[in-house]
Structure 1
């Protein structure tokens, strides 16, 4: 009997040593960007490691080896539980998101960091009431840098000279903005932009400077128009499936949010700012893309053309029960305060 008891105790000790004190939760993340893209490499991937550290290993984010589908499907992947965690672009899902258009309006700031942090704060105060991320828990919201116009064999000295050009845009405000400027907006997945330009389907693209480098477009473009504050911005999300989130302990939820929210928005914004600066420096050094800024006359024409669409967008947001003008003013106030304090 003593021998049997000793054997049982030995087995229990072995099992105890092999079993973690806390059950580990694995959340699967689908990534659709190239693995070397700055947003993935410098923001999303480090965030997954921070989650593990913040939860003392109780929650692990598993990076899937390949995306589960196209970029536009990633919000639905999280909402429907196909993936546990996803990130993506709001305007890739037309009709689902309206309040988030606030961050996409033109001329807001040169800094993705300032806009992203201000956006998170204003979203929590004003925009969250629209409940547009249903089916998920919103972990972070942010933008890329100022969206600019890039073309091949097109005169950028006036908006009149650009009329009729076919320009690939991301959707959202950029779609309306392109129409306002007299160009023909073309929709295509970001992963297919090179083929669209190289094949002559489009004459140009609206992108932040970073994306010209990340998607190897230098060889199919020769000019860029750098509009102060950008012609548009793109609003992005990081979400987790609501059901999976609800099964986490309050302790782990709080730990995850401690490395998400405003902190992640700031990190993402800084990543875009660095990448934009590096891309522009590289372009100037290589000399293959001619960079120009609008004249005062051209800038006045751009503002005049876009203003009705800015008003239309604010009206769409207001229809969601949000005081869009107040939210816009708050966004600008936050951006100005962040700039004055150097981002803190």
Structure 2
């Protein structure tokens, strides 16, 4: 009987532990169910990308913590909610997604003022230029962003030319190349340099390279890692000087009706995690993500960084100046003061470059 009693006691202990576990699990489920609002954040980069893993996951944790668990953020990378990257802005505007991250230039003519940040040799680091882009956007683009609340307008880290195997040191070296470009203005720059631009959202780049549709791409270094492109492009052109070859404006935005429907205290949580500080934070994450990619390329036996001299860079700058002039004229024809926007964007970049 003693052995049986002991067995019963052991069984009762295991059952009690199991019940306790069920109570804990139920409590945790209750906590999860306590969220009053669920925000679906949809974007086009893979979950391994720096912006997803280092910025959006942090943003999610901050919002959930500061709301006391009343807001739950669910992140859907790599277009998991459907559609294409150019459709993301409208997904936020119509409420198909609650929050999106996209490239503004994926929809040409819709945000013409934003193209100023696509101009050649305008940007510095992503951290610097993102702050300039956000201030600029909140002054000039709010009417075009109708239907969404801007979390942050920003830019990516310095864009470079990457080719499968061709070393590019002069505009003449660009001739015959087919290069993927992200926006109309950057594509016009690629064309002015003598290459053939192929417009496509960045997630399609790997397949296009693998199939021989393109010979290379323009992209920041961190994008190479996010998309696993180091095995497909082996020459990486870096230009001299403080200003990068190009960047492009990007946007994190929330459905306006979803925001308007929040109680005041939860609106404050969103507000506290939106604005120029967020633009700077995204830019910093993208800048920091460049460094390990550069280190990996420098150690590689198949990949090479091609550092252009100031004299070689000046020839690309001259082409960029013509692209800038043509853009200003096109904006003027539309009733937009292109030259003033250029000067303002450059002044904003200089302003934030001078800050610690």
Same fold (TM over 0.5): yes
Cα distance in 2 for partners of 1:232, 1:293 equals: 16
Q: Is 217-226 or 307-316 further displaced after alignment?
A: 307-316
Q: Distance in 2 between matches of 1:227 and 1:57?
A: 47
For 1:145, the equivalent position in structure 2 comes to: 157
- Which one has the largest radius of gyration? 2
| Aligned match for 2:238, one of 197, 222, 226 | 226
Deviation, 1:140, is 0.9
Q: Secondary structure at the match of 1:220?
A: coil
For 1:215, the equivalent position in structure 2 comes to 227
Q: CA RMSD in A?
A: 2.4
Q: Aligned pair 1:341/2:355, yes or no? A: yes
Counterpart position of 1:106: 120
Match of 1:11 in 2: none
- Match of 2:302, SS state, is coil
Q: Is the 8 A contact 1:177 1:231 kept in 2?
A: no
Q: Name the residue aligned to 1:117.
A: 131
TM-score normalised according to structure 1 size: 0.86
What does residue 189 of structure 1 align with? 201
CA contact (8 A) 2:234 2:303 kept: yes
Alignment partner for residue 75 of structure 1, among 51, 67, 89?
89
Query: Matched residue of 2:141: which SS?
Result: helix
Secondary structure, in 3 states, of the residue corresponding to 2:325? helix
Checking the alignment, whether the CA contact within 8 Å between 1:32 and 1:67 is kept in structure 2 is: no
Could you tell me whether the CA contact under 8 Å between 2:150 and 2:274 is conserved in 1? no
Tell whether 2:331 aligns with 1:301.
Answer: no
| 8 Å CA contact 1:155, 1:162 repeated in 2 | no
Shifted more, 205-214 versus 62-71: the winner is 62-71
Once the two structures are superposed, residues 317-341 of structure 1 have per-residue CA deviations (whole angstroms, 9 ceiling, x without a partner) of 5567655444433433333343333
> In the aligned structure 2, how far is the partner of 1:99 from the partner of 1:153?
35
Count of residues in Structure 1 that have an aligned counterpart in Structure 2: 322
Distance, in Å, in 2 between the alignment partners of 1:316 and 1:44 is 36
Which blocks of at least 5 consecutive residues in structure 2 are unaligned?
1-29
CA contact 1:110–1:230 (8 Å) conserved in 2: yes
Structure 1 stretches of 5 or more lacking a match?
1-17
Residues 257/322 of structure 1: CA separation in 2 closer, same or farther (3 Å cut): farther
Residues 251/316 of structure 1: CA separation in 2 closer, same or farther (3 Å cut) = farther
Q: How far apart in 2 are the matches of 1:336 and 1:189?
A: 30
Give CA deviations for 1:281-306 in whole Å, capped at 9, x if unaligned.
Answer: 11112242221222334322212212
Superposition TM-score, scaled by structure 2 size: 0.83
Task: Give the conservation status (yes or no) of the 8 Å contact 2:170–2:316.
Answer: no
Is 1:261 aligned to 2:275, yes or no? yes
- CA contact under 8 A between 1:218 and 1:288: conserved in structure 2? no
Matched, 1:313 2:327: yes
Distance across 1 between alignment mates of 2:73 and 2:238: 38
Contact 1:54–1:259 (CA under 8 A) maintained in structure 2: no
Matching residue of 1:87: 101
Show the counterpart of 2:346: 332
